[in-house]
């Protein structure tokens, strides 16, 4: 049968979504054109929680692999798709389940807190999950006398250690290469050039400790979007992946958003495209399915986190 022609690729995606009864979720770091066609844009946890509420049969997750896994863990009965199976996360790949198992053998009374940027296999070995918006709260909920291993982000872990004043936290040495591109010297320069601007930093930034005195706010992506909307300030320097700027600019006419580094672009996040979304909905590819046994174990630290925050 001849393929139907659509005026635009966006129309084609809308028709395919309807045909498949699919919901399209886009992470805050996706391209603007993907965020524009998404049913919901947000951070990974919010998207996975929204996915859990949906009546759709198919969840098309425009983000990276661990995010689609989280959706599969929280929505075991749905078909979860990702447009490009190669869209991974360098930070998540820096910790393996066997690393966590080894630490637990050496520290039988220890507690493992994993950042959401981890594989399902690492979550399954962890006691608590956290996001950048609730890491401090999660750590504060753990008894002071228990040693903690925080994986995999060294900079978020350092920030939490500082905020809680807790010494018995071991930090994994993982990092996000995109957030490493944001440098303290450039932040200083931008603050000089825009004296009235507020600097909003993501805790994954490699220069966080060095730049803490410059930051007006240290927030997760959802926290940044909320803050920019509520603030009476007019100019903001945004220190995170540049995809976030799309929503901020759209939601806040009259406010100015300056990227801390225009090159802070995650190449994995940008692997998804409108063409790949069409192929994904047409062929129901590429399915991310966390096996039941693993999903049941990986869900526990996520549910513990949700019960705390």
Asked if 117 is part of the footprint of ligand CIZ (rule: CB under 6 A), the reply reads: yes
> If binding means CB under 6 A, how many residues of this protein chain bind ligand CIZ?
12
With CB under 6 A as the contact rule, which of the stretches 79-87, 214-222, 256-264, 270-278 interacts with ligand CIZ? 214-222
**Sign of the CA dihedral with 175 first, then 290, 70, and 297 last:** negative
Using the minimum distance from each CB to ligand CIZ, give the nearer residue, 16 or 80.
80
CB of 64 to ligand CIZ, least distance (A): 9
- Span 47-106, contacts to ligand CIZ by CB under 6 A: none
> Using the rule CB under 6 A, which residue among 31, 131, 211, 280 binds ligand CIZ?
131
Give every CB contact of residue 239 below 8 A, 6+ residues apart in sequence: 182, 187, 199, 200, 201, 202, 205, 211, 215, 260, 261, 264
CB of 244 to ligand CIZ, least distance (A): 9
Using the minimum distance from each CB to ligand CIZ, give the nearer residue, 191 or 202.
202
- Span 141-200, contacts to ligand CIZ by CB under 6 A: none
- Span 25-44, contacts to ligand CIZ by CB under 6 A: 27, 43-44
| Distance of alpha carbon 19 from alpha carbon 53, whole angstroms | 20
CB of 300 to ligand CIZ, least distance (A): 19
> Using the rule CB under 6 A, which residue among 48, 82, 116, 245 binds ligand CIZ?
116
CB of 108 to ligand CIZ, least distance (A): 30
Question: Please, are residues 74 and 67 in contact by the beta-carbon 8 Å criterion?
Answer: no
Using the minimum distance from each CB to ligand CIZ, give the nearer residue, 45 or 74.
45
Instruction: Pull the structure tokens for residue 88.
Output: 């991974």
CB of 49 to ligand CIZ, least distance (A): 11
DSSP conformation class of 83: S
Instruction: Pull the structure tokens for residue 62.
Output: 């425009």
CB of 39 to ligand CIZ, least distance (A): 17
**Sign of the CA dihedral with 74 first, then 83, 267, and 197 last:** negative
Polymer length of the chain = 309
> Of 198, 201, 245, nearest to 225 (Cα)?
245
Q: Would you put residue 263 in left (φ > 0), alpha (ψ -120 to 50) or beta?
A: alpha
Binding stretches for ligand CIZ (CB under 6 A): 27, 43-45, 116-117, 131-132, 202, 220-222
């Amino acid at each position: 049968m001849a393929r139907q022609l659509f005026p635009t690729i966006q129309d084609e995606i809308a028709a395919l979504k309807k045909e498949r009864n699919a919901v399209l979720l886009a992470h805050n770091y996706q391209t603007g054109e993907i965020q524009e066609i998404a049913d919901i844009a947000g951070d990974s946890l919010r998207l996975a929680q929204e996915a859990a509420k949906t009546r759709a049969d198919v969840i098309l997750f425009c983000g990276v692999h661990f995010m689609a896994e989280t959706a599969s863990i929280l929505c075991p009965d749905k078909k979860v798709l990702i447009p490009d199976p190669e869209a991974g996360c360098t930070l998540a790949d820096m910790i393996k389940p066997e690393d966590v198992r080894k630490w637990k053998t050496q520290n039988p009374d220890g507690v493992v807190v994993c950042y959401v940027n981890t594989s399902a296999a690492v979550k399954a070995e962890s006691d608590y999950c956290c996001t950048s918006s609730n890491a401090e709260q999660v750590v504060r909920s753990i008894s002071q006398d228990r040693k903690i291993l925080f994986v995999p982000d060294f900079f978020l872990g350092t920030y939490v250690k500082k905020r809680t004043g807790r010494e018995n936290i071991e930090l994994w040495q993982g990092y996000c290469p995109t957030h490493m591109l944001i440098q303290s010297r450039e932040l200083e320069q931008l603050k000089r050039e825009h004296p009235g601007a507020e600097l909003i930093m993501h805790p994954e930034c490699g220069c966080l400790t060095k730049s803490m005195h410059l930051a007006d706010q240290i927030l997760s992506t959802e926290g940044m979007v909320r803050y920019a909307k509520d603030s009476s300030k007019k100019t903001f320097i945004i220190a995170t992946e540049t995809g976030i700027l799309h929503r901020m600019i759209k939601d806040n006419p009259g406010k100015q958003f300056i990227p801390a580094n225009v090159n802070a672009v995650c190449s994995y996040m940008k692997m998804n495209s409108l063409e790949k979304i069409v192929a994904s909905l047409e062929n129901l590819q590429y399915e991310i399915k966390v096996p039941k046994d693993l999903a049941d174990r990986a869900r526990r630290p996520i549910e513990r986190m949700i019960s705390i925050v």
